[in-house]
Structure 1
Amino acid sequence: MTNKKTLLRETGTIFLNGAFFKNPVLVGALGLYPVVAGGYNMRNAVELSLLFLFLTLPLSLLFCLVGEMVPLWIRPGLVLTVSAVLYLPAAWLTEKLLPGSVTALGMFAALMIGNSMILSRANDYAPTHIGWAVAADALGCSAGFAAVVCLSAAVRELWLKGSLWHTNMGVYGTADAGVSLPFFGFLLLGFFAAFVQWVNEKRGKKGGRRRVPRI
């Protein structure tokens, strides 16, 4: 029972680190391009999130199994090649769930093959960790990516059109096309990253107080 609780706690910690506390987009500045350039409306954001999940989970699990058998010098190229192969079923699944999504995303869909966040998890993390940890990390990073791109897209679409996914939200949109530009996306990510850093500092101080022995 104790081992099961420990496993669940560790799994939850790995997932939450990828989803929030050590979010690779906000803390590691990975996978920024699809967020700032492609994530300017909610439909795009959801489509990119699905592609991310369908790519990163099988890719990470595969390199969890075979990664350490692959020489370090060839692993990055092999990860990228396998990512390109897995893009085909990932795009097919995304299309099944949201018809027309890959066509609508255009180059942003294909560029997910080389997403630095996906490649780094498969190349660096997956080969040196066991399966359950890799799965938790992949799901946590997928949740973290989805949270960032969807939150950014929601702010931008509301600001631009006063709507979310073509649904009027009763908010006045400025119709300022600059909101959809990557520069504005970078500004939003800066605020999001600062918030996560603030939360982590609070957690660190709280943890430090707990470790102070009583006299």
Structure 2
Amino acid sequence: MRYKLDRRTDHILVDESQDTNREQWEIVQALAGEFFAGSGAREDRNRTLFMVGDFKQAIFGFQGTDPNEFRRAREWVRKQSSSARFASGMLFADDDDEAAALEFRDLSIEASYRSAPAVLDVVDAVIADVGYERMGLPERPNQHQAHFDRRPGIVELWTPFSVEDGVEEEEGEEGWLGEDARRYASALARQVRSWIDEGPCWRRPSGRSARETS
């Protein structure tokens, strides 16, 4: 089966790599192992392994995921690439197409097409204040850059909610959720409802306000 898959597989894309668990990485490594073992089933192709991930977006523990698995997978690819290039005698042949195909490239995209500068500035400030190590990041991230640098935005810091001692939690369909979390979610819902009812001053490119598009 692996032989047949090797003949049919030229490119592997792993999206959301930070949320890929160990068992899933083992499948990826089994499929990509022959990428670094010579020409493979056909000699007229260059095969690639492309992984897209962001440690800052990791959902810790989701379906057994651990961002460290992403880090280990990157190191595995780095070592496989280096060994293949060295074994092929192309360690310094950077201009060669085949050597370029075996090259490991650790790319970073700091530009954000979604968030406003105000939001990205707060994210960078929190990382700088708390420390990237305490946030589970393997290395210091680069500063974010807003692609739409004139997009308006605002960040509000709310006082944390807390439940007073002696308050009994209600039972029901949401009994699995703590009282403090339910109160916080209700406050968020009321605030969003208020924004929609008031009709924000900013408008979308379509010319319609948030209320008109909700």
TM-score (norm 2): 0.21
TM-score (norm 1): 0.21
Could you say which structure has the larger radius of gyration? Answer: 2
User: Greater helix share, 1 or 2?
Assistant: 1
